Amino acid sequence: MSETYKEFLDIWHMIAFYGSFGLLGVSILMYIIYKVRYVAAGSLKAKYDFVSTNEVKWYQWSHFIFAIAVFLFLNQIRQETMALSSVWFFIRLFTAFCLGILYGYVAFLVFKYYYPKPLNKKLKHLRYTPRVNPNNGNQMKLLSEEEEDAYLDEGMQAEEDAFSVDYDVWIDSDTEYVQIEKYKGHLTALECDRCGFQTLKLSKEEILKHPSEYADGEIKKEYECTYCGRIKRQTVRLSRTSTPELDKMGDNMLIDDPLKTTTVPVSVKVEVLSNRGQIKNYEFQNTKEASKFLEEFDFAKLDEE
Ligand SMILES: [Zn+2]
């Protein structure tokens, strides 16, 4: 074995050893920092916002960094075998790489497919745990969709009707103290540049020029604010490589109207399936809310996560 190879191995093993423990530390530290920030966020609503925007991101990165730590750690085991031949070095390098990638990929899958469910449960808990009146410590009551309208201004109601924003109204029935919390709705609407509410919705689409194999097309989009009535027109390029959203019709079809029922349900669960295999689940307080939602519903309005 050549001297250079031996020197190289020594340095490599040192870097891999310290690097793996360093990254393990970073990974654990990320987890701890996340937890500290969660506790420091304060109110349940602040915690909700913090968890919904950060938890998956932070946990995922913590695991990815851990995967690199695993890769480095494996790169300094069996040091005597490596000294025999550089072939062993590459075998170890390759195996460590595969195992690191495998760990990272499994973590990715877990966060994409399994984790949303427990996360949702956690968010629901943060959102629906009874609020406490900061002035007298009374437990507050969450108003139903019908009751809350009295406390929301017209713009807020328009946002709720567009399902772009969901407001929770908590009330202390003794003192009439009201606390309003703003949550993201099921559908997206743009923020109106005149009134500032999230009520700007696509109202018309017209293809000015069909995209061909050789040239881009053009589509005219018209947005209307359901609150202040502002109309905004925009011409968007349809790229020649992408399939235009022309065959949007039939994306969401309802066969029957299951919402016409005489019994009073406690909650209404809606599952929407698209012919492209997307499945979306929603929950509503009553059939009226659910039918209003379905009238608004369009797969194109969903947030791409
Ligand atoms: Zn507006």
Ligand 1 centroid to residue 197 C-alpha, Å: 6
Ligand 1 centroid to residue 282 C-alpha, Å: 27
Ligand 1 centroid to residue 191 C-alpha, Å: 8
Ligand 1 centroid to residue 281 C-alpha, Å: 29
The tens digit of pLDDT for each residue in 21-80 reads 999 999 999 999 999 999 999 999 999 999 999 999 999 999 999 999 999 999 999 999
Ligand 1 centroid to residue 190 C-alpha, Å: 10
Ligand 1 centroid to residue 212 C-alpha, Å: 36
Q: Which amino acid is at 126?
A: L
Instruction: Please enumerate in sequence order all residues whose Cβ is within 8 A of that of 225, keeping only pairs 6 or more positions apart, or say none.
Output: 192, 194, 195, 197, 199, 200, 201, 231, 232
Percent of the chain with pLDDT over 90: 65
Ligand 1 centroid to residue 195 C-alpha, Å: 4
Ligand 1 centroid to residue 280 C-alpha, Å: 28
| Cα–Cα distance measured from residue 118 to residue 114, given in angstroms and rounded to the nearest whole number | 8
Residue pair 123/48 in contact by the 8 Å Cβ criterion = yes
| Cα–Cα distance measured from residue 149 to residue 288, given in angstroms and rounded to the nearest whole number | 14
Q: Which amino acid is at 245?
A: E
Q: How many CA atoms lie within 13 A of 177 on its CB side?
A: 13
Residue pair 66/24 in contact by the 8 Å Cβ criterion = yes
Q: What's the pTM?
A: 0.75
pLDDT at 246: 45
pLDDT at 261: 54
Task: Tell me what the pLDDT averaged over the chain comes to.
Answer: 88
pLDDT at 254: 44
Ligand 1 centroid to residue 154 C-alpha, Å: 11
Which residue in 173, 165, 245, 261 sits closest to 211, CA to CA? 245
Ligand 1 centroid to residue 153 C-alpha, Å: 14
Ligand 1 centroid to residue 219 C-alpha, Å: 23
- Residues lining ion ligand 1 (Cβ < 5 A) are 192, 194-195, 225, 227-228, 230
Ligand 1 centroid to residue 45 C-alpha, Å: 26
Residue pair 186/293 in contact by the 8 Å Cβ criterion = yes
Ligand 1 centroid to residue 297 C-alpha, Å: 20
| Cα–Cα distance measured from residue 181 to residue 171, given in angstroms and rounded to the nearest whole number | 11
- Please compute Rg for the chain using Cα positions: 27
Ligand 1 centroid to residue 78 C-alpha, Å: 67
Q: Which of 61-75, 76-90, 196-210 tops mean pLDDT?
A: 61-75
Ligand 1 centroid to residue 291 C-alpha, Å: 24
What are the start-end ranges of the H helices in the chain? Answer: 3-40, 44-74, 79-84, 86-109, 116-128, 145-148, 154-161, 287-296
Residue pair 271/254 in contact by the 8 Å Cβ criterion = no
Which residue in 121, 141, 123 sits closest to 131, CA to CA? 141
Terminal C-alpha separation, the chain: 53
| Secondary structure tally for the chain: helices H, strands E | 8, 8
Ligand 1 centroid to residue 181 C-alpha, Å: 21
Ligand 1 centroid to residue 183 C-alpha, Å: 19
Ligand 1 centroid to residue 50 C-alpha, Å: 28
Q: Order across the sheet with 217-225: list the strands.
A: 200-209, 217-225, 231-238
Ligand 1 centroid to residue 222 C-alpha, Å: 14
DSSP SS3 for 148: helix
Ligand 1 centroid to residue 77 C-alpha, Å: 64
The tens digit of pLDDT for each residue in 100-134 reads 999 999 999 999 999 999 999 999 999 999 999 99
Residue pair 129/157 in contact by the 8 Å Cβ criterion = no
The tens digit of pLDDT for each residue in 227-254 reads 999 999 989 888 875 444 444 444 444 4
Mean pLDDT of 200-222: 88
CB atoms within 10 A of CB 281: 9
Which residue in 15, 111, 21, 97 sits closest to 66, CA to CA? 21
Instruction: Please enumerate in sequence order all residues whose Cβ is within 8 A of that of 237, keeping only pairs 6 or more positions apart, or say none.
Output: 216, 217, 218, 219
- Judged on CB neighbours under 10 Å (0-12, 13-18, 19+), 290 is buried
